[in-house]
Each structure stands twice: as C-alpha cells, then as structure tokens.
Amino acid sequence: MPPAPAPGMVAAMIAPLLVLLAAAQAAAVPAPSDPIAADWKPIPDDELMVMTLGDGHRVVIRLASAYAPEHVANLKRLAAARWWDGESVYRVQENWVAQWGDPTEKKPLPADIVARPAAEYEIAGFAPAQRMRKADAYSTASGITADGWPVATDGKAAWLTHCYGMVGVARDVSPDTGTGAELFTPIGQSARRLDRNYTVVGRIIEGMQYLSALPRSGAEMGFYATEAERTPLASVRLASDIPAAQRPHYEYRAADNPRFGLAIAKRERPDPPMVAIGASVCDVPLATRRVETGG
C-alpha cells in the first residue's frame, strides 16, 4: 500500500491485535468508545429524504425536524408533491456548495407551502450531550446533541453548524425568502460563515460523494452556464412515501452516552501526543447506518 496520510494508521495496525485479544476473552466487549446496540436509535421514516439522481445514485438526507420545523414541513410538502422530480443540481461552486431545485425559480410551488417562512437560523437553546473541549473560531462553545446534530453557541443564541454535508435553505437577500425548494450542501473546506445566517434543515448521511464530486462550474457563483451541465433529479421522496418493500431504514448513533464522549476525546487528544491539538465540532464523526428492518 502506498504511503498515506492516515493518522490512525498505528491504531489501525494495533486494532487487529486487540480484536484477537478480545476474541480470546470469554465474553468479548466492545472497546469503550465503540457504540453498543443501545447507542443506535432509529431515524423515523418521515425524517429521511431519498434523492435519486438521474444516473440512479442515491443521496439520503436526514431531516432536522426538531430544529427547523417550519422549513422541514415545507420540504415534506415539496417531496409529497413530487415537486423536485425532473429538477436538477444546477450549481456546484468549487470549495463552497452544491445546490439543487428549480434553477428558473418559475415552477409553481405546491398550494400548501408556507411561501415566506420566518428564518429558523437559531435553535431553541444550546444543550449538547457532548461539548467540544476547546472553543473554535466561530463560537464560544460547540458540541453534539443527544440526537446527533452539531451545534454551537455564542453564549446567547445557539444554532446548527454548517459542516461539510449539512443541508441548508438557499434564499435571496431577505431572510424569509427561502421556502426550502432550493437547497444546498457545503462541499469544501468550511461553510461556517453561513452559521446563523441560513436555515439548516438536514444532513446528508449517504451518497454525499455524488454531489461533492460533481464538476465545478466556472461561471458566476458556480451556477452552471448550460442546462447540459446540470445533474437531473429523478425523484425526491420521504422514505415514508416509498413502498414498504423498497423503503430504506436508517439509525443514528446517539451522543448521550460515555462511549460517544470517549470517541470525541480520542479525536481531541490524539495519540501520539506530538500532533496538533484539538478537534472542531465538524470533525466529529456523526455515524448513521442503514438497517435491513426497523423504523
């Protein structure tokens, strides 16, 4: 195997030995930072949005129903109306965002849509199950909620953070101009400067690579100059609207347990110690998994 940046490589080499040691024990137990069965919680079928691209690849979005209820309700109405079917990913700007919906802004919205929902940039309060050890450049504290969302605060307000793969509501200048019909996800270094300035409605939990690897547009703000460059959306459905036999089910790793805390601590205090200190809230792996039955 060629040389590789793999800070966990030593750990990876030791891991098989640990597995052997564990197997030798009468009752093998998971390492302290590994999840146990109780750490996995189902994501409700109606909080999963399955976006199928024209080439059949699937992008699965977990919806942040509890944090942006009005916008997520709009997303559910748009999916129920099959509003996105035949629309496209029409903007891919290098080191910034991929964005999808209707590039013409002329397609009529479903009648039950809230046309000008109030901004939901902030959430009710800052109550993470796990706090990051060190403040970052964008907030005074940050952490992960019990239900697995990255959050930050300035000591007064709190908000979901624009980490790579989070899904936000695109809008015009006025804060109430985003219905949820146009969505974006950060595909580069960071979009934390959008925090508290855009409504976060979800996170991509599968298929991110089908958006992040799309060709970048060199045109203004990354909007593709031609229709041919766009990536078609074949269909966008809530999982709950997919026939039971084909319906996917997912679980998230809950953060309100000491195993999650240990996993963060490992990342924040890497071994060997002669390496960079700390980790940001966007570096915390927020694990989800597909399960064959559930929900």
Residues between 198 and 237 that touch a copy of itself (CB under 8 A) = 198, 208-209, 212-216, 221, 223
CB of 222 to a copy of itself, least distance (A): 9
**Binding pattern to a copy of itself, positions 1-40, x when CB under 8 A?**
xxxxxxx-xx--x---------------------------
DSSP 202: E
Does residue 290 interact with a copy of itself by CB under 8 A? no
Query: What CA–CA distance (Å, rounded) separates 6 from 8?
Result: 5
Stretch that binds a copy of itself, among 24-32, 44-52, 95-103, 248-256 (CB under 8 A): 95-103
Q: Residue 184: which H helix or E strand, with range?
A: strand 183-186
Shortest distance, CB of residue 265 to a copy of itself, whole angstroms?
A: 13
**Rounded distance, CA 271 to CA 11, Å?**
9
Distance CA 90, CA 228 (A): 10
The one-letter code for the residue type at 195 is D
Site string for a copy of itself, 234-273 (x = CB under 8 A): ---------------------------------x--x---
Interactions with a copy of itself, residue window 157-186 (CB under 8 A): 159, 163-165, 168-173, 177-178, 182, 184, 186
Q: How far, rounded to the nearest angstrom, does the alpha carbon of residue 216 sit from its chain's CA centroid?
A: 21
Inter-residue contact 240 to 49 (CB < 8 Å): no
Contact region with a copy of itself (CB under 8 A), list: 62-70, 76-84, 123-131, 278-286: 278-286
Asked if 200 and 184 count as a contact pair (C-beta separation under 8 A), the reply is no
CB of 270 to a copy of itself, least distance (A): 7
Considering only residues 76, 77, 192, 230, which one is a binding residue for a copy of itself as defined by CB under 8 A? 192
Q: Give the angle subtended at the CA of 239 by the CAs of 192 and 242, to the nearest 5°.
A: 150
Which run of H or of E encompasses 190? Answer: none
Task: Tell me the sheet residues that pair with 252.
Answer: 41, 288
Give residues 129-158 in contact with a copy of itself (rule: CB under 8 A): 132, 134-139, 152, 154
